[in-house]
């Protein structure tokens, strides 16, 4: 069993379980219902989820390396960059512009979509090894890109992301058994 891919699957589960509290705190922040303690918890949770997401993306990079799928490696690197950039945007928002959400603009959605696309195409290229699971991730990613670029429906992309991450975790666990 390949330990790094297995740990990537575990990181995906941790990411998914911390996503709901992050979304709830984000909504509370948007409506101005968080006090200083709540904002501190929100920030710490976002730092934690960014670290977990970066590790998760790194394990997808490892999967791309083991399967020789270059675009999956590119998608993983772009994702790591985007996770860190998103955290930076949040920090700027929290520190300099209280209650003005910088993430809610068209540029953010365009870059999010551009990051998702190579990730999705990379997983589609894994279809010969992982069958319908890889196809599901690819299709969800492409739909997520389109939804994200539409801006109006971009909030639906979180649901697509959750579904995609669940299937990606299954792929990582399966890959951990395939690549010793």
pLDDT tens digits along 107-162: 777 777 788 899 999 999 999 999 999 999 999 999 988 888 776 777 788 888 89
Q: Round the average pLDDT of the chain to a whole number and report it.
A: 88
Q: In this structure, what DSSP letter does residue 104 have?
A: G
Please state, for a pLDDT cut of 70, what percent of the chain lies above it. 93
Q: Which long-range contacts (CB under 8 A, 24 or more apart) does 23-32 make?
A: 23/158, 29/99, 30/99, 30/101, 32/99
Give the start-to-end residue ranges of the domains of the chain: 3-178
pTM of the entire structure?
0.89
Residue 79 has what pLDDT?
A: 94
Distances in Å between the alpha carbon of 26 and those of 16, 19, 115?
A: 15, 10, 22
Q: Give the DSSP H or E segment for 81.
A: helix 70-96
Shortest CA distance to 81 belongs to which of 54, 110, 101?
54
């Amino acid at each position: 069993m390949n330990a790094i891919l297995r740990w990537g699957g575990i990181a995906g589960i941790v990411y998914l379980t911390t996503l709901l509290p992050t979304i709830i705190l984000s909504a509370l922040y948007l409506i101005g219902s968080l006090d200083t303690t709540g904002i501190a918890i929100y920030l710490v949770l976002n730092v934690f989820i960014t670290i977990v997401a970066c590790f998760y993306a790194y394990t997808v990079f490892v999967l791309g390396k083991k399967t020789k799928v270059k675009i999956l490696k590119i998608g993983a690197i772009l994702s790591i960059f985007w996770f860190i950039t998103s955290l930076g945007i949040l920090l700027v928002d929290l520190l300099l512009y209280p209650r003005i959400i910088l993430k809610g603009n068209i540029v953010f959605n365009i870059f999010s979509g551009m990051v998702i696309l190579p990730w999705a195409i990379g997983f589609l290229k894994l279809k010969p090894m992982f069958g319908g699971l890889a196809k599901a991730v690819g299709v969800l990613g492409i739909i997520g890109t389109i939804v994200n670029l539409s801006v109006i429906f971009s909030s639906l992309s979180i649901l697509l992301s959750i579904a995609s991450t669940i299937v990606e975790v299954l792929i990582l666990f399966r890959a951990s058994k395939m690549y010793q």
